[in-house]
Amino acid sequence: MIEKRSKYGIVCVVFRSILQYIKASKGWAVLEHGIAVLSSLSWIVGILVTQQLFDLITEASRGYASYSQVGIALGTMAAVTVVQQVLRGIDKYLLGYVSYKNVGKFMSELMLKLSRVSAKHFEDPNFLDNIDKSKRCIEYEALGSFSTNCLRLFTYYGVFFVSVSIYFFGLSPLLPLIIFVSFVPAILGQLVQVKVFIGLENESAPLRRQYTYYKKAISSQLSFKETRILGAFGFFRNLFSNTLLLLTTKTWKVERKAAFIRLILGLVSFIGFGVSTIMLFNSAMSGEISIGTFVAVFGVLSQIFSMAEELVSIQVSQGSETIGKIEIYYRLMDMEEVDGEEAVIDFSKGIVAKDVNFTYPGRNKMAVQGATITISEGETIAIVGENGAGKSTLVRLLVGLYRPDNGTVEIGGQNSSNTHPSSIFRETSGVFQDFLCYKMTLAENVAISNTKEIQNHDNIQRVLQDCEFGDDSVTLDTMLSTEFGGIDLSGGQWQRIAIARGLYKTNSLIVLDEPTAAIDPIEEERVYSQFKRLSKDKCTILVTHRLASAKFANRIVVMDKGKIVDVGCHDELIERKGKYATMWEAQSAWYVNRDN
């Protein structure tokens, strides 16, 4: 526990982000921070040439120096100023450029990580929250600018304060001490802010998700029809406004606290500035330092305080707001990945599930309990049962998408809990209830599992014909999205494309988890019988509510409350007069009554 906490402590997060930034930016990091060091050192050069110029002016006015010497000093100062400005410009440009470049890299690392964690986590709302926070942390360049700013604490601010302090120390040992002491409370205050903002981040993420959801319910293309027709606009707007109010109240309270801390810090800094100025003035008046030194140091003193303020109130404050999200991002990046051996899956051995239990994150009740079933090579089974009976969960276990909490699932002779999912998925395909309608061309929609073959239009056309997709106005190159200048299709047409996509992928095991809800029962029967013909010799699992469609299967698995309660062919199950027979009678009666 202690180790866990220290791993995500502020110091560890800072160093980790710096290392990540250096690794991602490579040569750019060296260039950016090399320029930062030069830009920082140019300040001390500026002080020295200013000092020299004003000392020469004083001496020239007394006749101890020539005007040409003053002219050279003036030219040197102008040159130094130009170099300072150029360095600052390059520094700013590189800062923005490198941070922006890293956004893509960090995001693709996150996506890669998400593709490697267990699918079960995606059922956990906290995990989804953390994805949301991590994505925002990267998208708004928070991670990139945080890490580079942390490094700049050393390469820019550190170099500046150390070089100026050494110079000041030469003038009076007390001068750098006062500057240092006036900023220690400021830095400590920031640590308090870090804690406050981490708390805010954790509390506000669920609210933000709710508020985004309510906003979508009112304005998204998918939901606006239902929201309007049900007159639910006011309902969602109230929820939206209330959540937004809660969110802004929380944020406002934290911002108020942070502003108060900043005010105190500002006062401390101001006192430091005042004391340093008085000391400097006294030294000049007593002849301890020359007029040139006074002018140069006085000029840079206000710069020191504005830089320190920038460091504290912008860099550190923004960092403290960000660090909460970054901590969550690292926790996500450290999550255990789905492990397992690469293995050869021999589908002639079918699928064997024994005493399988599975519970969703955050639930106490098992979604699947004690399931035992064997599916032989080339067999088609249908899983039926009422809503919430556990059909989809069982299917996901049988194809290795989820690993059982207890019991074993052997797919093609390999235990799914020890086998890397990629080995299993290589020869597996599926079409699910909530299939995706990709905003891409028709060809891409079908061939997404093997885009190298996207130019092989014959294959794509064949599978579309098999699935009886036909529309004269649609070619393989038609963009299926109005948003991207194309067209949209009907629900039934999208379903055929989804099935074609499932069949297009080479597979020895295919799952059809009720992707046919948008077509009528007669059409569904036709699609399933067609599907059975196309997927012959393969292990096929169908999930359906319509028992007439299940008749195509070699065996029907009946589920009730998470358990397999019966297995057999249609006639056997009718004869046993169990759950299946009751469901069959109810569905048949419905069709008879409807037809009358």
What is the spatial distance between Cα 339 and Cα 335, in angstroms, rounded to a whole number? Answer: 12
Nearest alpha carbon to residue 314 among 165, 149, 133: 149
Segment lying near ligand ATP (by CB under 6 A), choices 149-157, 382-390, 421-429, 587-595: 382-390
Q: Binding residue for ligand ATP (CB under 6 A) from 4, 363, 452, 594? A: 363
The yes or no reply on residue 549 touching ligand ATP (CB under 6 A) is no
Q: Binding residue for ligand ATP (CB under 6 A) from 154, 298, 360, 435? A: 360
How near is the Cβ of 450 to ligand ATP at its closest, in Å? Answer: 29
Q: Binding residue for ligand ATP (CB under 6 A) from 319, 390, 400, 412? A: 390
User: H helices within 174-232, ranges in order?
Assistant: 174-219, 224-229
Q: Binding residue for ligand ATP (CB under 6 A) from 276, 392, 507, 508? A: 392
Beta pairing class for 406-411 and 380-385? unpaired
Closer CB to ligand ATP, 262 or 546, in the complex: 546
Q: Binding residue for ligand ATP (CB under 6 A) from 385, 400, 404, 502? A: 385
The dihedrals phi and psi of 238, each to the nearest 5 degrees, come to -60, -45
**Residues within window 115-134 making contact with ligand ATP, judged by CB under 6 A:** 123
What would you measure as the largest C-alpha separation in the chain, in angstroms? Answer: 122
| Radius of gyration for the chain, computed over Cα atoms and rounded to the nearest angstrom | 34
What is the spatial distance between Cα 402 and Cα 504, in angstroms, rounded to a whole number? Answer: 23
CB 433 within 8 A of CB 518: no
Closer CB to ligand ATP, 359 or 408, in the complex: 359
What is the spatial distance between Cα 202 and Cα 262, in angstroms, rounded to a whole number? Answer: 22
CB 332 within 8 A of CB 134: yes
Segment lying near ligand ATP (by CB under 6 A), choices 167-175, 263-271, 390-398, 530-538: 390-398
Closer CB to ligand ATP, 363 or 452, in the complex: 363
The yes or no reply on residue 389 touching ligand ATP (CB under 6 A) is yes
Closer CB to ligand ATP, 434 or 483, in the complex: 434
Closer CB to ligand ATP, 325 or 391, in the complex: 391
Q: How many CB atoms within 10 Å of residue 159?
A: 20
The yes or no reply on residue 170 touching ligand ATP (CB under 6 A) is no
- Listed in sequence order, the residues at least 6 apart from 266 whose beta carbon sits closer than 8 Å to its beta carbon are 309, 313
How near is the Cβ of 515 to ligand ATP at its closest, in Å? Answer: 12
314 to 353: interface string for ligand ATP, x by CB under 6 A: ----------------------------------------
The yes or no reply on residue 388 touching ligand ATP (CB under 6 A) is yes
What is the spatial distance between Cα 574 and Cα 61, in angstroms, rounded to a whole number? Answer: 116
How near is the Cβ of 272 to ligand ATP at its closest, in Å? Answer: 56
- Checking phi first, is residue 468 left (phi over 0); if not, alpha (psi -120 to 50) or beta? left
Q: Binding residue for ligand ATP (CB under 6 A) from 367, 373, 401, 489? A: 367
Q: Binding residue for ligand ATP (CB under 6 A) from 387, 473, 593, 596? A: 387
How near is the Cβ of 589 to ligand ATP at its closest, in Å? Answer: 20
Beta pairing class for 509-513 and 351-358? unpaired
What is the spatial distance between Cα 425 and Cα 44, in angstroms, rounded to a whole number? Answer: 62
Nearest alpha carbon to residue 351 among 371, 317, 377: 377
Cα four-point dihedral sign 247, 250, 253, 259: negative
How near is the Cβ of 353 to ligand ATP at its closest, in Å? Answer: 14
How near is the Cβ of 217 to ligand ATP at its closest, in Å? Answer: 20
**Where does this chain bind ligand ATP (CB under 6 A)?**
123, 360, 363, 367, 385, 387-393
